[in-house]
């Protein structure tokens, strides 16, 4: 049974991923344990019938066979079933943790994408603000020329009107960009809240996973010790059965010899 001593929760996880057979229920584990006990006690039933057969031969009295002790098989099987349930619970928590980490990564990616859009809008706003300031400077220059050169032709007035319209258009664009910036800032805050919540969920699931891993390791060590004790007891029982079988064969030979003499 030494091959179980090097197993860890990763080994259990790999074995569970490769094993495509359906898991046994508690009832199946109990039935299996009962079948093993019946198999080991089969020779005992044959020995129980020996005194009735040999009683008709007074010259060949049989020695009373020692009673077989009950075998603690069901307890070990219950521990195996409990270990499997604990592993399945840990595996479920582990999958939930992986999903939470995946959601956190997606939220972080969305947050970064919104941050890039916000930076782009801020750059556009700065450029538009610079253009507006340049146009305001040009407008002031034109107004100064208008004050200095009265009576200038209508073309200069049209240029001033055009600059004013451009200023209004730029101001409207700036308002729109600022509105978009505020909207993106709200979305950014929502993403930050979701990211913080996902990080808290991930931390909680990691703590649960560590506790489950420690408990699984402890129960695996207990199960290994129980299996070792069971192997020793089974070897001892097999030896006793072998000795009793040899004794039965000798008695059968004595009966055959007596029958032949008769």
pLDDT digits (tens, 9 = 90+) for 8-17: 445 555 555 5
Q: Is the pLDDT of residue 219 over 50?
A: yes
pLDDT at 38: 46
Would 4 be classed as within a structural domain?
no
pLDDT at 56: 43
User: Which residues, at least 6 apart from 56, have a Cβ–Cβ distance to it below 8 Å?
Assistant: none
211 or 30: which carries more pLDDT confidence? 211
pLDDT at 204: 82
Would 6 be classed as within a structural domain?
no
User: Which residues, at least 6 apart from 64, have a Cβ–Cβ distance to it below 8 Å?
Assistant: 51
Q: Is the pLDDT of residue 21 over 60?
A: no
pLDDT at 188: 83
Helices 26-40 and 73-148 pack at an angle, to 10 degrees, of 150
Would 247 be classed as within a structural domain?
no
Count of structural domains within the chain: 1
pLDDT at 69: 53
Would 123 be classed as within a structural domain?
yes
Would 20 be classed as within a structural domain?
no
Would 23 be classed as within a structural domain?
no
Q: Which residues span the domain enclosing 123?
A: 74-229
Instruction: CATH number of the domain at 161, please.
Output: 1.10.287
């Amino acid at each position: 049974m030494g091959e179980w001593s090097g197993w860890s929760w990763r080994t259990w996880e790999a074995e569970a991923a490769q094993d495509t057979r359906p898991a046994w229920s508690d009832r199946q584990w109990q039935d299996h344990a009962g079948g093993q006990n019946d198999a080991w006690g089969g020779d005992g039933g044959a020995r129980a019938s020996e005194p009735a057969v040999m009683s008709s031969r007074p010259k060949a009295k049989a020695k009373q066979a020692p009673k077989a002790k009950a075998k603690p098989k069901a307890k070990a099987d219950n521990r195996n079933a409990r270990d499997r349930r604990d592993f399945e619970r840990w595996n479920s928590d582990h999958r939930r943790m992986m999903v939470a980490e995946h959601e956190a990564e997606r939220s972080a990616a969305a947050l970064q994408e919104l941050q890039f859009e916000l930076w782009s809008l801020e750059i556009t706003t700065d450029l538009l603000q610079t253009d507006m300031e340049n146009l305001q400077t040009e407008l002031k220059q034109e107004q100064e020329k208008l004050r200095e050169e009265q009576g200038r032709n209508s073309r200069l007035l049209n240029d001033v009107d055009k600059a004013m319209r451009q200023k209004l258009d730029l101001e409207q664009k700036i308002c729109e960009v600022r509105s978009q910036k505020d909207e993106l800032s709200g979305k950014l805050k929502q993403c930050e809240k979701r990211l913080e919540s996902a990080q808290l969920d991930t931390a909680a699931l990691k703590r649960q996973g560590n506790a489950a891993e420690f408990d699984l390791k402890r129960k695996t060590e207990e199960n290994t010790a129980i299996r070792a004790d069971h192997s020793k007891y089974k070897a001892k029982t097999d030896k006793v059965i072998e000795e009793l079988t040899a004794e039965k064969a000798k008695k059968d030979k004595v009966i055959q010899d007596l029958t032949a003499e008769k």
